[in-house]
Amino acid sequence: MPSNNQSFAPRPGLSPVQPSSPTQVQAQPAPPAPPATVQTADTTKVSAELRPVIGTLTRLFDETTKALGGSQATQAKKREIEDNSRKIGALFSKLNSGDISPNVSSKLIQLCSAIDASDFVTAMHLQVLLTTSDWDECNFWLAALKRMIKTRQNFRM
């Protein structure tokens, strides 16, 4: 039956049933992996000399999480805990892939030894040294580490 619509003009060679070109199915890229956290970062390939850094920073994270209120923390403190976890998780990923310079590795080992001895003055001094000498390499996780050291220093266990 012909159409009474004068503005409709079928295009020659195109059938209304078939598409004008073959339909291509685009493969959807996999969603990006969520950022590593203290709990989820792969640390299986961390060198033996840096393994104590993982242990100390995990303990520091757990202690500061408790000091901030843990599961009972305010929304602002929960965001701080999550931020600390993501940033220290990123450090763990870098340690796992060997993407940390010998200079930073050495300072991290010293810093963690100071934390283990509850020598927070020395730990903060080493954190400042990392800030002044290795900022480009450490800037993503260094502020979270500083915050955690200060929180732990002020929280008596």
Confidence of residue 155 (pLDDT cuts 50, 70, 90): confident
**Contact call for residues 129 and 138 (beta carbons, < 8 A):** no
Residue 27 has pLDDT above 80, yes or no: no
Rounded mean pLDDT of the chain?
88
Instruction: Please work out, in degrees rounded to the nearest 5, the angle formed at the alpha carbon of residue 31 by the alpha carbons of 24 and 33.
Output: 155
Please report whether residue 41 resides in a domain: no
Please report whether residue 39 resides in a domain: no
pLDDT at residue 156, as a whole number: 72
Please report whether residue 27 resides in a domain: no
pLDDT at residue 9, as a whole number: 56
Q: What is the pLDDT of residues 116-133, one digit of tens each?
A: 999 999 999 999 999 999
Q: Please give the Cα distance from 73 to 95 (Å, whole number).
A: 29
Q: What is the pLDDT of residues 52-110, one digit of tens each?
A: 999 999 999 999 999 999 999 999 999 999 999 999 999 999 999 999 999 999 999 99
Please report whether residue 43 resides in a domain: no
**Contact call for residues 132 and 40 (beta carbons, < 8 A):** no
CATH of the domain at 137: 1.20.940.10
Please report whether residue 91 resides in a domain: yes
Of all residues in the chain, what percent carry a pLDDT higher than 70?
80
Confidence of residue 32 (pLDDT cuts 50, 70, 90): confident
Please report whether residue 60 resides in a domain: yes
Domain enclosing residue 139, as ranges:
48-154
Q: Report the length, in residues, of the chain.
A: 157
Amino acid at 139: N
Spatial CA neighbour of 64 closest among 6, 2, 150: 150
Please report whether residue 97 resides in a domain: yes
Q: Please count the structural domains in the chain.
A: 1
Spatial CA neighbour of 112 closest among 95, 97, 98, 99: 95
Rounded to two decimals, the pTM is 0.78
Please report whether residue 114 resides in a domain: yes
